[in-house]
Amino acid sequence: MSVLRPLDKLPGLNMATVLLVGSEDALLQQLADSMLKEDCASELRVHLAKALPLPSNVNRPRIDLIVFVINLHSKYSLQHVEESLHHVDASFFLGRVCFLGTGAGQEHHCSLHRNTVLKLAHTYRSPLFFCDLEVEDFRATMAQRLVRMLLICAGHVRGVSALNLLSLLRTSETPPPEEL
């Protein structure tokens, strides 16, 4: 039952909500804090979740943007995200979903290849960002970008819809063929 649907409720006044899904609590928390520090005219809400489906007993506002955070250091996080993707309504993928890969900076810790995540983002035709969430400066920049995306997805920016933004952002091109 509990499939996440976009536009399932009326929007709150001046409110924008983002849902961060990922298996690493600490990273999500840090990213949430950085996003809330950003200066913007609208009221931001950040929800954190380890996996979908979300518990249905909680009264929550409608979700404007879902960010799937994949940690390149653990295959476990990719598995979680893939399973959660099945609980998302198809219409979310019209620009209200994006993928975020973290931990690409430390090559020797990475158990996931970049291409795997690239392929995933390409399959769902959604934008993919790479950012080392542990480094504060990168995190702050990423938070800024996510907040701007969120504002557009929530409709607070006149003349640009989430779908427009999606077409403007270059979705990942066909990933290079698997290296043997």
Partner 1 sequence: FSYKAKKNTIYMSVNQQDLDPDSTTDVEVVTDTEEELIKECEEIWKDMEECQNKLSLTGTETLTNSNAQLSVLIMQVKCLTAELSQWHKETPEITPLTEDVLITLGTEEFQKLRHDLEMVLSTIQSKNEKLKEDLEREQQWLDEQQQIMESLNALYSELKNQFVTFSETRIFSELKTKMLNIKAFKEKLLSTLGEFLEDHFPLPDGNVKKKKKNIQESTKQLITLHEILEILINRLFDVPHDPYVKISDSFWPPYIELLLRNGIALRHPEDPTRLRLEAFHQ
**Interacting residue ranges for partner 1, rule: CB under 8 A:** 3, 5, 7-11, 13-14, 82, 85-91, 93-94, 122-125, 154-156, 158, 161-164, 166-167
- Is residue 129 within a helix (H) or strand (E), and if so which, with residue range? strand 128-130
Phi, psi torsion values for 79, nearest 5 degrees: -60, -50
Least distance to partner 1, CB of residue 97, Å: 10
First to last CA, the chain: 41
Query: What is the Cα 42 distance to its own chain's centre?
Result: 19
Least distance to partner 1, CB of residue 177, Å: 17
Widest CA span in the chain = 53
Q: Is 122 or 140 the residue whose CB approaches partner 1 more closely?
A: 122
Q: Is 10 or 180 the residue whose CB approaches partner 1 more closely?
A: 10
Q: What is the DSSP letter of 62?
A: P
Least distance to partner 1, CB of residue 139, Å: 28
Per the listing, tokens 């607070």 go with 156
Least distance to partner 1, CB of residue 160, Å: 8
Q: Is 8 or 136 the residue whose CB approaches partner 1 more closely?
A: 8
